[in-house]
Structure 1
Amino acid sequence: MEKSNSTTDFILLGLFRHTRLHLFFFALVQAVAIASLLGNSLMALLIRQDPQLHMPMYFLLSQLSLMDLMLVSTTVPKMADGFLSGKTSISPAGCGMQIFVSLTLGGGESFLLAAMAYDRCVAVCHPLRYPTLMSRQLCLQMTMGSWFLGAADGLMQAAATLSFTYCGAHDIDHFFCEAPMLLRLACSDTSVFENVMYICCILMLLIPLSLILTSYSLILGAVLHMHSTEACKKAFATCSSHLAVVGLFYGPAIFIYMRPKSYRSADHDKVVSAFYTIFTPMLNPVIYSLRNNEVKEALKRWLGKQVTLKHQQT
C-alpha cells in the first residue's frame, strides 16, 4: 500500500449527506449549536455580572460554560463550512488542533465536575466550615489544575496521533478530528498507543468519576440525617442538577474512548460525538438555570437592568 506524505490534508466525510432529511438535521444541529453558544454565554455573563453569584460553586459553573463554548466553537464551524461549501479538507495542523482542544476541554471538564462535586459535598456536609474548606484560593487551584491536566492529556494524544504514518485517501469518517477515528487510517501498528490512550482515559475519566461518586455518597448520607424537609429539598435540587450534567458528560465520553476497538462503529461514534460536543453543551445551562433559583433570580435582575437602561436611553 502506498504511504502518504505527512503533509497531506485529511478529508472529513462529515455527519450529513445532501438530502432533504439530512438538511433538516443539519439545520437542527445549527440551531442547537447557536442555542448552546447563547445559553453558555448568558450563564457566564450572569455569573460575572451578579455579585450574589460570586461564590465558588458559580465560579466553577462559569468555567464549565467557558469549556462548553470552546467545544462547540471547535467542532461546529468546520462541520458547517464543509457541508455548505464542500471544503471538507483539513490540514494535519488543523486536525491536531481539533484533537488537542477537544481533549483539553473533555479532560478539563472531567476534573472540573469532580471539583464541583467536592464543592457540593462541603456545602451539604460541612456548611459552617464551607468558607474555610472551599476557599477562593483552593477554588482557583482546582480550576487551574483541571485546565492543566486536560491540556497535558490533549497535547500528548494530539502529538502521538499525528506522529503515525497514514495511508490511502486520508478520509476520516467523522465531522471533526477525533483520535480514535484517526487511528483507523494509520499504516503502522498503533496498539501500544491505544493501550496508553486507554490508560489515560482511566485516569482522566474514572478517577474523577470515583471522586464524584464518593462525594455524592457522603452527600446522600448527610441528607438522610437532615431533619429539615426544606433543607433536604434544596440539597437534592442543587445536587440533582450536577448529577444530570455528570451523566450527560460521562456516558458518551466512556462510550467513545473506553470501548474495545472491535465494538466500534463509525456511524455510532459520530452520533454520540455530536451529542456530547453539541447537544450536551446546550443542556448544561438549561439544567442549571431551570433547577436553580439563584440563577433564575439573577436572570430576572439582569433582564430588569436591561429594560431600565433601554427606557433611560429612549
Structure 2
Amino acid sequence: MSEAEMPRAHGAPAVSARFRASPEDFRVEEIDGFEASGSGEHLLLTIEKRSMNTAFAAKRIAQWAGVPELAVGYAGLKDRHAVTRQRFSVHLPKRVAPDLSSLQSDDFRVLASEWHAKKLPRGALAGNRFVLTLRDAEGNRDAIEQRLEAIAARGVPNYFGEQRFGRDGDNVASALAMFGGRRVRREQRTMLLSAARSELFNRVLAKRVGEDRWDAGLEGEVWMLDGSRSVFGPEPWSDALAARLAAFDIHPSGPLWGAGELRSVSASRELEMSALADGNALGLRAGLEAAGLKQERRALRLKPQQLQWRWLQGETLELQFALSPGTYATAVLRELGDIGNASVASP
C-alpha cells in the first residue's frame, strides 16, 4: 500500500512544506528507559551525531574500542539525515576505555559516559523527543494551528512509516519474492519480514481510518495499554472502557501478522480479515506464518506528547513533541499536510 493510498484521519492537508533541508531540521533525542548502574563491564555512551545512521555509529565505536561490532549495543535505530542523540553500550571486560577524545569529531560528540552492568538491548528506551523544522510552509496559519490542536487532542493513526518499506518502497515486493523462494541474506530477511508485517498492519489501519473507526472500539476489539505491549480483551463494551479510551489509557489494536489465531472476534475480526483478503495480502500472511512469527498486536492510535509549535522567521514552522518507542514522526506530519522530504534527493 503506497502512502497515497493511506487515508488521512483529519481531512485534507492543512499545509504544504518541506523538511530535512539540512540535518538540523530533524532533531531526535532518545528518552532513556533506565539509569546507568554505575558499575559493570559495559560503558554507556551518550552520543550526538550528525548525518550518521545508528549502524555506522556502532561500527565507529567498535573500531575505537577495538572490539567486535557485536560488543556494541543500542536501543533503537536512528535516521541518517538528522541530528540525533542516543545511547550506545560497549563491552569492555577490563573496564579500561580508550581516550574518549579520540572518538570525537565535528559530526560525532560524546555527551556522557557511565558504566553499566549489561549490554544495551533493543527497545530499552522510553521514547523519542523530536524537534522538527518545516520550511516554506504554505497555508492559512489559523487552519494549520487548528489542525495541530486537533492532532494534540485526538492523536493520529499509528501507521508504520515509509522507512519500513525501503528507499523505493520495494521491500514488500521483495518479501513476496523471498516467500516464493528467493534467497536473501539473514539481515535482509529480518528487514523484509518487518516490511511484510507493517504492510498488513497499515492495510487494516487504512480501512479503519477510511471508516472513521481508527480511534473507536468495535465489537470484539482487542485493547492495548498505552505505552505498553500488553493487551486485553475482547470484552463487552462498558462505561469504564469508554472512559479509558477517552483518557488515552488504552487504544484499539490491529494485527502484527504471524501464526496462530487472531485474538480479535466479531466485527473487529471481520474488518481485519476483509482488509487482508486480496492475493498479495494472502501471500504475505502465508509467508509470515511459515517464517514462524506469532500473532501480535499494535496500537492503532498514536498521541504525540507535549506537542508544541512556533513560527520562526519567514514561513518556517517548528514542531516539538515526544513519541513512544516504535512509532513514527512522519505519521504526525502526514496528518498535518503534504510535507516533502528534502533529503530524498541527497546522495
Q: TM-score, normalised by structure 2?
A: 0.26
Greater RCO, 1 or 2 (C-alpha within 8 Å, sep 6+):
1
Q: TM-score, normalised by structure 1?
A: 0.28
**Greater helix proportion:** 1
**Greater strand proportion:** 2
